[in-house]
């Protein structure tokens, strides 16, 4: 079960990272810098966790909690600047990041390797949940507003009347 907890935590951290990067990409610099830095660190933590790496809790907690601290701090300190932040994506990022922190820090000292079918099912189930949350959240970011709508990819075919 410990290895599945690690997988679920890693996938949640990856989803949080994607949202933090998307929000940071369109934010004012004093919000963008910590958001992008935290997003990169969250992605590193996700990959390391999938590989089985263990770090001190502080190294895991800081990047996972930083985006939440930044947007809550901005909301309290500079409400007019924070009003431009996409709140739904930030809430989704915080949910995934806090869940990842809990899952990654609750791991036991020894990871027993689960059966391959359990690993695949754990990865698929966590990916389905995180993909649903992250996709919805990303759609609410600046990047999501300019994304190509589904079904409209590829070459546009123009119809000409007559000949």
Maximum CA extent, the chain: 74
* Of 80 and 39, more confident: 39
Rounded to an integer, the average pLDDT of 76-101 is 91
pLDDT tens per residue, range 89-106: 999 999 999 999 999 988
pLDDT above 90 covers a percentage of the chain that reads 44
Rounded to an integer, the average pLDDT of 71-94 is 89
pLDDT tens per residue, range 143-153: 777 766 765 65
pLDDT tens per residue, range 124-137: 988 999 999 998 89
Residue 52 dihedral angles phi and psi, to the nearest 5° = 95, 5
| Cα separation, 33 vs 24, whole angstroms | 7
């Amino acid at each position: 079960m410990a290895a599945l907890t690690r997988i679920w935590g890693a996938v949640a951290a990856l989803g949080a990272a994607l949202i933090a990067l998307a929000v940071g990409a369109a934010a004012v610099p004093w919000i963008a810098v910590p958001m992008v830095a935290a997003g990169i660190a969250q992605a590193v933590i996700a990959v390391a966790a999938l590989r089985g790496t263990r770090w001190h809790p502080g190294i895991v907690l800081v990047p996972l909690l930083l985006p939440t601290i930044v947007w809550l701090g901005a909301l309290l300190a500079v409400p007019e600047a924070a009003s431009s932040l996409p709140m739904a994506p930030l809430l989704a990022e915080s949910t995934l990041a806090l869940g990842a922190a809990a899952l990654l820090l609750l791991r036991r000292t020894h990871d027993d390797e689960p059966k391959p079918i359990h690993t695949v099912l754990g990865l698929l189930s966590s990916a389905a949940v995180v993909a649903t949350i992250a996709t919805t959240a990303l759609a609410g970011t600046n990047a999501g507003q300019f994304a190509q709508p589904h079904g409209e990819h590829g070459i546009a075919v123009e119809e000409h009347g007559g000949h």
